[in-house]
Amino acid sequence: MGNVNLTIDGRAVSVDKGSTVLEAARKAGVRIPTLCYLENVQAIGACRMCIVEVQGKRGLHASCVLPVEEGMVVNTNTAMVRTARKAVMELILSNHPFECLTCVRNLNCELQRLAEELGVRQVRFQGANPETCIDDSNPSVIRDQRKCILCRRCVTVCKEIQGVSALGMVNRGFETRVAAAGDVPLGEVACALCGQCIQACPVGALYEPDKTGEVWRALADPNKHVVVQPAPAIRVALGEEVGMPVGSVVTGKMATALRMMGFDAIFDTDFAADLTIIEEGHELLHRMQNGGVLPMITSCSPGWIKFCEHFYPDLLPNLSTCKSPHEM
């Protein structure tokens, strides 16, 4: 493909032809802030946060969509760039509710972190601040349109990664917004309940329902026998949340903590997963020996079953008839 040589903030870097300035900067160890960019998934220059100054070119350019050129000299942190980025951030915040302390993404928000980094202390502009209701029609995803910054990351991952296209853009100009397909509540479309959109969202516009209050009320009810069934991955993911090395196995500590909280019983999903393997293996042998439908596809993921029902109904006979580990 050939290499292209350029200089970014005084650092010489060589990248493949066809690369963008943002990719070159990351290779050179130069940080350029982004909001709408998703590596290897989306580069549309919508947020304008990744703007840079290029010697010999007029104006500022979005580095995520700017192809590298031989001998290009790029500056990512000049006074003009910093001023422009701060103004862009103010424009985004002008149409964003200031509810950080009560937001589900407080202290874990890309917009909040970047605003602090850019030194935004006041917003000089007044946005439209549209009043829209929260869409909680979906059992796994809640949408708060007021907090959406139109980065389109959720739309892209739903289409390009999950292949569902449950989300899309509607209207134009100041009326532009993210909406479910057909502009209906999210609970009425073929959503796979995968959570990819929540993972991709940089702010609190998409989040999971919080059942914490219901759990505490159940634990406090002496007439209820409360059972918890943690997924197998939790035992190696929980430790890092409390300062332990990544990958630490905390099965015993987790069980003790759950008991201290008040749970009456703790079921290990690993046991049910073993049952699923045994039953699916038995079913596979039965299909092979008796001319059943092949290949057989596991049914251990409810999300995959829903996806298959909506988009590949012709494959339903290939699915195993076994229940998922949690259902077992």
| pLDDT for res 228 | 94
Rounded to an integer, the average pLDDT of 219-226 is 96
Q: Taking the model in full, what pTM does it have?
A: 0.88
Q: How confident is the model at residue 1 (pLDDT cuts 50, 70, 90)?
A: low
5 in helix, strand or coil?
strand
State pLDDT tens for residues 105-120. Answer: 999 999 999 999 999 9
119 in helix, strand or coil?
coil
| pLDDT for res 326 | 79
**Numbered ranges of CATH 3.10.20.740 in the chain:** 1-125
Share of the chain above pLDDT 70, in %: 99
Separation CA 223–CA 259 (nearest Å):
17
Helix H or strand E segment including 169: strand 167-170
**Numbered ranges of CATH 3.30.70.20 in the chain:** 142-207
3-class secondary structure per residue, 36-89: CCECCCECCCCCCCCEEEECCCCCEEECCCCECCCCCEEECCCHHHHHHHHHHH
Amino acid of residue 140: S
DSSP string of 174-234, one letter each residue = GG-EEEETTS--GGGS------HHHHH-SSSSEE----HHHHHHHHH-TT---EE---TTH
Angle at 158 between CA 156 and CA 160, to 5 degrees: 60
Rounded to an integer, the average pLDDT of 154-176 is 93
State pLDDT tens for residues 128-141. Answer: 776 777 999 999 99
State pLDDT tens for residues 236-258. Answer: 889 988 889 988 999 999 999 99
| Lowest mean pLDDT across 1-5, 43-47, 126-130 | 126-130
| pLDDT for res 165 | 94
Into which CATH architecture does domain 1-125 fall? Answer: Roll (3.10)
Phi, psi of 259 (to 5 degrees): -65, -45
Rounded to an integer, the average pLDDT of 155-179 is 92
Angle at 313 between CA 291 and CA 153, to 5 degrees: 135
Q: How confident is the model at residue 32 (pLDDT cuts 50, 70, 90)?
A: very high
| Lowest mean pLDDT across 12-26, 76-90, 202-216, 221-235 | 221-235
Separation CA 18–CA 23 (nearest Å):
10
| pLDDT for res 2 | 73
Helix H or strand E segment including 271: helix 269-290
Rounded to an integer, the average pLDDT of 143-158 is 95
Separation CA 87–CA 118 (nearest Å):
10
Residue 93 confidence (pLDDT) above 80 = yes
CATH code of domain 142-207:
3.30.70.20
Q: How confident is the model at residue 13 (pLDDT cuts 50, 70, 90)?
A: very high
Residue 90 confidence (pLDDT) above 80 = yes
Reference 27, options 43, 41, 16; nearest CA is: 16
Reference 138, options 190, 103, 200; nearest CA is: 190
Rounded to an integer, the average pLDDT of 283-292 is 96
Amino acid of residue 31: R
132 in helix, strand or coil?
coil
Lookup: tokens for 218: 């159940």
| pLDDT for res 272 | 86
Strand-strand pairing, 60-62 and 73-75:
unpaired
| pLDDT for res 217 | 97
| pLDDT for res 285 | 96
Across the strands, what pairs with 178?
169
State pLDDT tens for residues 48-57. Answer: 999 999 999 9
State pLDDT tens for residues 175-212. Answer: 899 999 899 999 999 999 999 999 999 999 999 999 99
Q: How confident is the model at residue 220 (pLDDT cuts 50, 70, 90)?
A: very high
Q: How far is CA 169 from CA 111, 129, 177, 180, 190, in A?
A: 21, 18, 6, 8, 16
* Averaged pLDDT score across all residues of the chain: 93
Q: Exposure pattern of 198-234 as b/e (b: 16+ CB <10 Å)?
A: bebbbbbbbbeeeeeeeeeeeeeeeeeeeebebeeee
